[in-house]
């Protein structure tokens, strides 16, 4: 069962798997948006860099985490754990990708890959903490 009633507020809380899949889908939508921007801007000599792609995909993917965060307590420890997880996974994947494929380091593609993988993992940690319900 992936949805459950939330206390007395009548709001439905989605499970971690649903949040991760919706985050990944929204990331893909953000990347598609960046692709359209790149196709429009390419004739004018501008192509988006990896930081722009990571920023746009994260902005698109932030909706499920934002809805969960606004759902109510617990907040502080869950948000800190999610952000710490996001940054840890992003840095580990970026370092591994740039070590394994040195060409990626020139274009910061390891950073982009790390952020794309780290965002759903961070949302999963946020949902896990919220479903536990014992976070301060």
User: For the residues of the chain, what is the DSSP string, one character each?
Assistant: --EEEETTTTEEEE-HHHHHHHHHHHHHHHHHHHHHHHHHHGGGT----HHHHHHHHHHHHHHHHHHHHHT-S--HHHHHHHHHHHHHHHHHHHHHHHHH-HHHHHHTHHHHHHHHHHHHHHHHHHHHHHHH----
Q: Is the pLDDT of residue 11 over 60?
A: no
The pLDDT value given to residue 2:
46
User: For 47-71, how does the pLDDT look when each residue is reduced to its tens digit (9 = 90+)?
Assistant: 778 888 888 888 888 888 888 888 7
State the average pLDDT for the chain: 81
Lowest mean pLDDT across 26-35, 43-52, 79-88: 43-52
Q: Is the pLDDT of residue 7 over 60?
A: no
pLDDT band at 129 (very low <50, low <70, confident <90, very high): confident
User: For 98-121, how does the pLDDT look when each residue is reduced to its tens digit (9 = 90+)?
Assistant: 888 888 777 788 888 888 899 999
The pLDDT value given to residue 26:
92
């Amino acid at each position: 069962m992936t949805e459950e009633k939330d206390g007395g507020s009548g709001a439905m809380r989605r499970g971690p798997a649903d949040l991760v899949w919706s985050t990944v889908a929204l990331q893909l939508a953000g990347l598609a948006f960046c692709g359209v921007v790149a196709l429009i801007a390419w004739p004018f000599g501008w192509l988006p860099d990896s930081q722009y792609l990571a920023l746009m995909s994260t902005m698109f993917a932030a909706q499920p985490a934002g809805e969960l965060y606004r759902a109510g307590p617990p907040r502080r420890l869950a948000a800190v754990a999610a952000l710490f997880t996001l940054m840890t996974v992003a840095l580990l994947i970026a370092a591994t990708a740039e070590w394994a494929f040195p060409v990626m380091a020139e274009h910061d593609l390891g950073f982009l890959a790390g952020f794309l993988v780290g965002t759903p993992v961070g949302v999963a940690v946020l949902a896990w903490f919220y479903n536990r319900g014992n976070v301060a």
